[in-house]
């Protein structure tokens, strides 16, 4: 019998998801003569048995497209799945239904493409006997066990381009321009785009900031004849002895706390305390959308091909990863046991300080 494998994309969307799907499907069909079944909208499709049977042409022409042709969801966890019974919302464990659906299709292996939440559920399914392969996806680059996640470098490109555009208007109006980027607990996007875009201040969750130190940096620039400044702030940044700024709380969501507003808080403090004219730009979901850059297209393809090669070898319970310049694997158990945050004494922070960037500390 022809081997049959499954695939899904879970969590928030990001550039490169379609490139991974394309690599998985093309490698499976062309190289190994496997059948591939894709489950729609992340774990919801796996629980509800909503699927498509991929053929070679289904993934033709999607390499450069953002998003995912399978759809995705960051709300559905098969171990804590939202259902309505008697007009009441309940959360129940439907992981056994997942197992039944996989058996019904004759699926031997599942490729789970996602971030920390998606891969944590994949690990839990692996503990129940599912032959799982993980592919690391997140624009935040905060998954441990891999040097880079796909989607991250495109998000950095987007943020860097925004900084480039803010420079001209900041200089023209002699203003402080604040760019708020994503990064709940890890400030990778803010750090790398800030360095690449020539920011003056970078505020990240790993280094709580002192508003007085930020002001001193801006004044130092004025004394040197620079009458504008660029501040890049991650959404999870917080002041010393303060808390992250919460935009809203969504009850029933796996991640109920939604951050947002640190840029406005920072601008308000600079204007109210120091009288600095300040404007804020929030990139938000622009960082998730659009075409993947060449780096992410290649990395996604490498990950997808590697996932199918592992299946051919009979390996499972692992996540593919980038280790230096090579694609290798790490056990799923190790891949999701902690977040990868910015080392406060690491090379990137040190070179940023060396060229005069301020972290507000």
Residue positions annotated with a catalytic role: 140
Between strands 257-259 and 246-249, the pairing is antiparallel
Q: How far apart are CA 133 and CA 108, in angstroms?
A: 11
Q: How far apart are CA 16 and CA 23, in angstroms?
A: 11
Q: How far apart are CA 326 and CA 302, in angstroms?
A: 9
Q: What is the dihedral of CA 134, 137, 143, 144, to 10 degrees?
A: 50
Q: How far apart are CA 178 and CA 267, in angstroms?
A: 7
- What backbone phi and psi angles, to 5 degrees, belong to 238? -150, 150
Q: How far apart are CA 203 and CA 233, in angstroms?
A: 5
**Taking a C-beta distance cutoff of 8 angstroms, is the pair 328, 146 a contact?**
no
Residue 264: Cβ-neighbour burial (10 angstroms; 0-12, 13-18, 19+): middle
Length in residues, the chain: 361
Give the rounded distance of the alpha carbon of 61 from its chain centre.
24
**Taking a C-beta distance cutoff of 8 angstroms, is the pair 43, 144 a contact?**
no
**Taking a C-beta distance cutoff of 8 angstroms, is the pair 320, 303 a contact?**
yes
**Taking a C-beta distance cutoff of 8 angstroms, is the pair 199, 233 a contact?**
no
Element (H, E) at 7: strand 4-9
Between strands 318-323 and 326-331, the pairing is antiparallel
3-state secondary structure 270-328: HHHHHCCCEEEEECHHHHCCCCCCHHHHHHHHHHHHHHHHHHHHCCCCEEEEEECCEEE
In sequence order, which ranges of 52-187 are alpha helices (DSSP H)?
95-105, 116-127, 152-173
Q: How far apart are CA 299 and CA 276, in angstroms?
A: 43
């Amino acid at each position: 019998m022809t081997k049959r494998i499954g695939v899904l994309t879970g969590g928030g969307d990001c550039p490169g998801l379609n490139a991974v799907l394309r690599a998985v499907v093309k490698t499976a069909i062309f190289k190994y003569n496997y059948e591939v079944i894709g489950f729609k909208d992340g774990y919801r499709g796996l629980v509800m048995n909503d699927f498509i049977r991929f053929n070679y042409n289904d993934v033709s022409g999607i390499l450069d497209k953002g998003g995912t042709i399978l759809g995705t969801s960051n709300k559905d966890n098969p171990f804590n799945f939202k259902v309505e019974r008697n007009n009441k919302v309940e959360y129940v464990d439907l992981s056994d239904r997942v197992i039944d659906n996989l058996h019904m299709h004759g699926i031997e292996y599942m490729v789970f493409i996602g971030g920390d939440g998606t891969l944590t559920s994949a690990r839990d399914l692996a503990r129940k006997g599912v032959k799982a392969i993980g592919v690391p996806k997140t624009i935040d680059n905060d998954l441990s066990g891999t040097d880079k996640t796909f989607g991250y470098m495109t998000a950095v490109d987007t943020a860097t381009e925004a900084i480039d555009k803010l420079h001209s208007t900041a200089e023209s109006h002699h203003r402080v321009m604040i760019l708020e980027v994503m990064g709940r607990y890890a400030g990778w996007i803010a750090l790398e785009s800030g360095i690449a875009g020539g920011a003056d201040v970078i505020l990240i969750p790993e280094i709580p900031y002192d508003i007085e130190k930020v002001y001193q940096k801006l004044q130092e620039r004025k004394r040197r004849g620079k009458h504008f400044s660029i501040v890049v702030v991650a959404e999870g940044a917080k002041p010393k002895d303060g808390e992250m700024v919460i935009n809203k709380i969504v009850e029933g969501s796996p991640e109920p706390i939604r951050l947002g507003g640190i840029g406005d808080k920072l601008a308000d403090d600079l204007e109210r305390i120091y009288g600095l004219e300040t404007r804020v730009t929030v990139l938000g979901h622009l960082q998730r959308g659009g075409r993947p850059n060449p780096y992410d297209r290649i990395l996604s393809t490498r990950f997808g091909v590697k996932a199918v090669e592992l299946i051919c070898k009979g390996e499972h319970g692992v996540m593919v990863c980038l280790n230096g310049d090579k694609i290798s694997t790490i056990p799923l158990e190790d891949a999701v046991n902690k977040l990868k945050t910015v080392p406060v004494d690491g090379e990137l922070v040190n070179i940023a300080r060396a060229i005069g960037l301020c972290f507000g500390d």
